[in-house]
Amino acid sequence: MSPRVISLARPLAIAAVMAGLATACKVGPNYTTPQELPTHEWSQNAQGPVTADQPDLHEWWKRFNDPILDQLIAQAEVSNAKLEMALANVRVALGALGVSESEYWPSIKTGIAYSRNQTNINLIPSTGVESSPFSVWTAGVAMTGWEIDVWGRVARLVESSTASLAADVEDVRDALISVRGQVGATYMKVRTLQVQLGILETAIVNARTTCELALAKFTAGTNTLLDLNEARQDLETLEAQLPQIEADLAASIFSVAQLCGTTPEPMVKLLGPRSVIPTGPASVGVGIPTELLRRRPDVRSSERRAAAAVATIGATEALNYPVFSLNGSFYLAANQFGSMFNSPSSTYGFGPSVSWLVFQGGYVESLIAQSKGQAQVALASYRDTVLEAVRDVETSISNLVQAQREVESYGEAAMLAQSTFELAQAQYAAGTVDLDRLITIQNNLLEVQEDMASSQGALATDFVSLYRALGGGWEQTAVNQEATANAGGKVTP
């Protein structure tokens, strides 16, 4: 073995030993998962369309038996901009994790340089100094400040970045659930407005018929101009309601288009002609609250962000301890390129160093206080997210049960109102009912039918809201697979 190899073996062995001491301990608190809520059942008894069965959330929208809704959700999963942003954020978080992990390793630079130099003899008082131009060739490798992670500062940063990466993956899953829910709810609004528009148009036809009857009676001299004007006023009032419903319908279609990542024109074609309000499934299982907390991505994301914040405390506390690091360099220098690789042309230096921040004006203490405060905020946010998740489901259950009752009641009321209007219209033509009574019954029919359509739309929307609140259905999806792939395999699918 050459003397040069022997001389380098010792410092390399020292570097290996010191690197082996890295992460010997980690300062700061270790994260523990917060206790789950001691809730094992929902406050409301299972009734109506809600059961205590395990929820079946896989492709829940197909339970509405509406092919258009199926197409909309499929398109949104591929083209929604917010989903794309959430997926891109996972790549950003993976990059941040890579930056943290890179601090485990030394930073080594290499390079080669050449310069042509000449000494200014007029500035040198000595005699005999060579002043002719000369060349300098240099090449080398340098390692500066390789921190040995004795106190776990880097390990805590990696721990925090890993938890943040997992949270971003959960955010993708939450965005998927949210987009599906928004598409479903907005689609129900589109169909509800279309039904209400049809109801109003039918009411206008009925009002025109009433005007024709009033005109015929006026011509025959059996009623007055006052009755005719009253019938015309009712007709104009109904027609004045058309523009607002049409505007609301257009706005809802535009919203669906945005959610699906497209423009209104192709969305109008996809939605096709007016259709009925989709009918939800006969029942929905809701399971138990503890399962909800393990399933909802927003809860899982909040918990991971709390873990990341706690890990950051240790990274900042490590700044109060001495920093052990290794420094080294090896370079060659000669006046001629051919002489660079001769033994006398080499120079190297290698060795450990210790530095300690003994005074910093409270900087580190402030960082520690800041990180502890951020951890408290994250833990409180997690608890609030848990309570919000429970509230979402409880509210959705209540709304769904009540909406079911409303639909049943309005169904009966609508049939009675239709029968009453037909009877009143016949009696007005026969002269046994006055115009005021007919118009009142006619408008009552419109109001009941509109309320029935609203309740049917609310019931369909409440089914969507409950599925969304239950927080599942993201597991077996291409979006979830892409999110875990973007995480570089460092997050559980």
Residues 23 and 96 placed together within one structural domain of the fold = no
Residues 137 and 258 placed together within one structural domain of the fold = no
Domain of residue 133, residue span: 1-30+106-148+323-355
The total of structural domains in the chain comes to 2
Residue 96 above 90 pLDDT?
Answer: yes
Residues 176 and 286 placed together within one structural domain of the fold = yes
**CATH code of the domain covering residue 175:** 1.20.1600.10
What is the value of pTM for the model shown? 0.86
- Residues 325-374: tens digit of each pLDDT: 888 887 777 777 777 677 677 787 788 888 888 878 888 899 999 999 99
Q: Which two tokens stand for residue 192?
A: 């509800």
Cα distance between residue 314 and residue 29, in whole Å: 6
- Provide the 10 A C-beta neighbour count for residue 53: 12
Residues 242 and 129 placed together within one structural domain of the fold = no
Residues 255 and 337 placed together within one structural domain of the fold = no
- Residues 108-127: tens digit of each pLDDT: 888 888 788 777 766 666 55
Residue 141 DSSP symbol: E
Residue 41 above 80 pLDDT?
Answer: no
491 inside domain: no
Residues 330 and 468 placed together within one structural domain of the fold = no
Residues 343 and 402 placed together within one structural domain of the fold = no
Residues 23 and 56 placed together within one structural domain of the fold = no
- Residues 222-254: tens digit of each pLDDT: 888 998 999 999 999 999 999 999 999 999 999
Distances (CA, A) of 120 to 124, 129, 132, 211, 417: 7, 10, 9, 112, 110
- Residues 247-296: tens digit of each pLDDT: 999 999 999 999 999 999 999 999 999 999 999 999 999 988 888 888 99
Residues 199 and 244 placed together within one structural domain of the fold = yes
239 inside domain: yes
Residues 114 and 155 placed together within one structural domain of the fold = no
**Which positions ≥6 away from 68 have C-beta within 8 Å?**
187, 270, 271, 272, 275
The percent of residues above 90 in pLDDT, for the chain, comes to 61
Cα distance between residue 475 and residue 346, in whole Å: 60
3-class secondary structure, 360: coil
Beta strands in 79-184 (DSSP E): 108-117, 134-148
Residues 288 and 415 placed together within one structural domain of the fold = yes
Residues 116 and 218 placed together within one structural domain of the fold = no
The pLDDT of residue 252 is: 97
- Residues 133-184: tens digit of each pLDDT: 777 777 778 878 788 889 999 999 999 999 999 999 999 999 999 999 999 9
The pLDDT of residue 416 is: 94
398 inside domain: yes
Cα distance between residue 47 and residue 247, in whole Å: 38
The pLDDT of residue 464 is: 96
